[in-house]
Amino acid sequence: MRSTPHILVVNGTKVRRPVFILGAPHSGADLLARAVKRSAGFHLTTGRPGVLRVTYAFARRPSIASERGTGAARVLRDAFAETWQISARACAECPAECRELAGLPPVPAGPDGPPVPGDAGPCVPPGGIARFADASPDLIYSADVLLDAFPDAQLVQVIRDGRDAVADMLADDRCLAWFKPGLANLDTVFPNPFLGVEDHTDRNRWPRAAPAVKCALRWRGSVRLSARLHRQTPEEQLLTVRYEDLVARPRRVAAEMAGFLDATISKTALSGLVRPGARGHGDDDHGVGSWRGRLSPRQIAQVEKVAGTELRRLGYRLAADA
């Protein structure tokens, strides 16, 4: 049962139907986040420290959220109430990615060298804001708490071929850092949705598993959560977008998002954010199907062994079936 509606006012505006963009690591959620952030009337944030502290606590120790019940929703709601404030001081906590999503230039270095984000001012004008949104990493693991905190929330989840996602994860030091012994918390949390370790077979293979296997487990765990979310969430509150459709037909996806959110999403803004090289299998490293050239035959076999069932369920053809 969802919690009762709670009136949250930020910057003098009631938070109604906030939008949260979810997906596995490197699913392409950032493309949709940019489109929403650059649409009139939206204030989208990502990676604010206050939100990350809460969401990663819930992701890495799900019992915290389940044991606290409505208290978990209140904690998350308070984190967003602070995150969505619009001021130079509040925006000083924004990561560089947030300004990039807005299409703004990097913050210049301060007198002592490091950039001072607050000196550049807010990345969105406070006037005219009607909707709030967030696209912080790994929100998928807090989806239930998000809906408890904001019963009228709208969720947009992005699905991408797990082999392309794994190829990007293997090139991302921040993703790989979660696998280090000091951060992997399998000794205290098992099953572990965040790491994708669900049974004793996964647990036993983990210490010796190759990085591609660990990335595949994370992707598999995330899409299984996405499937559960799809079954449990009313249609009017959840939209699923395929990365491959976003690349091939960005204007159509923009129209679908506009209808779902009941808001204007610029078709040209979204199509302009998709790298031209990503439309095919050419030289772009992050394009659709680029895993064929970026993963070794051994890595492809590892990923398909771990996540083959999910890849087939989502309509992706395995290399082993060719």
Round to whole Å and give the CA distance between 9 and 3: 18
Domain count, the chain: 1
- Per-residue pLDDT averaged across 281-310, rounded? 85
Higher pLDDT pick, 173 / 276: 173
- Per-residue pLDDT averaged across 13-25, rounded? 95
Q: Would you place residue 53 in the very low, low, confident or very high pLDDT band (cuts 50, 70, 90)?
A: very high
Q: What digits encode the pLDDT tens for the residues 75-89? A: 999 999 999 998 777
User: Is 252 a domain residue?
Assistant: yes
User: Is 13 a domain residue?
Assistant: yes
Tell me if 159 sits within 8 A of 314, measured CB to CB.
yes
Position 108 scores a pLDDT of 57
Taking 70 as the threshold, does the pLDDT of residue 4 lie above it? Answer: no
Position 321 scores a pLDDT of 83
Residue 203 neighbours by CB under 8 Å, 6+ apart: 186, 190, 197
Q: What digits encode the pLDDT tens for the residues 235-257? A: 999 999 999 999 889 989 999 99
Host domain of residue 25 = 9-86+124-321
User: Is 203 a domain residue?
Assistant: yes
Taking 80 as the threshold, does the pLDDT of residue 161 lie above it? Answer: yes
Position 1 scores a pLDDT of 44
Q: Would you place residue 281 in the very low, low, confident or very high pLDDT band (cuts 50, 70, 90)?
A: very low
User: Is 14 a domain residue?
Assistant: yes
User: Is 118 a domain residue?
Assistant: no
Q: What digits encode the pLDDT tens for the residues 171-219? A: 999 999 999 988 999 999 999 999 999 999 999 999 999 999 999 999 9
Q: Would you place residue 313 in the very low, low, confident or very high pLDDT band (cuts 50, 70, 90)?
A: very high
User: Is 95 a domain residue?
Assistant: no
User: Is 132 a domain residue?
Assistant: yes
Task: Sort residue 128 into left (φ over 0), alpha (ψ -120 to 50) or beta.
Answer: left
Mean pLDDT lowest for which of 35-44, 97-106, 253-262? Answer: 97-106
pTM, 2 dp: 0.90
Residue 133 neighbours by CB under 8 Å, 6+ apart: 18, 19, 20, 21, 33, 36, 37, 42, 43, 44, 45
- C-beta neighbour count of 173 within 10 angstroms: 6
Query: Tokens at residue 273, please?
Result: 């954010």
Position 104 scores a pLDDT of 76
End-to-end alpha-carbon separation of the chain, Å?
45
- Per-residue pLDDT averaged across 161-173, rounded? 97
User: Is 99 a domain residue?
Assistant: no
Query: Tokens at residue 264, please?
Result: 């204007």
Output the domain CATH number for residue 220.
3.40.50.300
Taking 90 as the threshold, does the pLDDT of residue 258 lie above it? Answer: yes
Mean pLDDT lowest for which of 85-94, 134-143, 249-258? Answer: 85-94
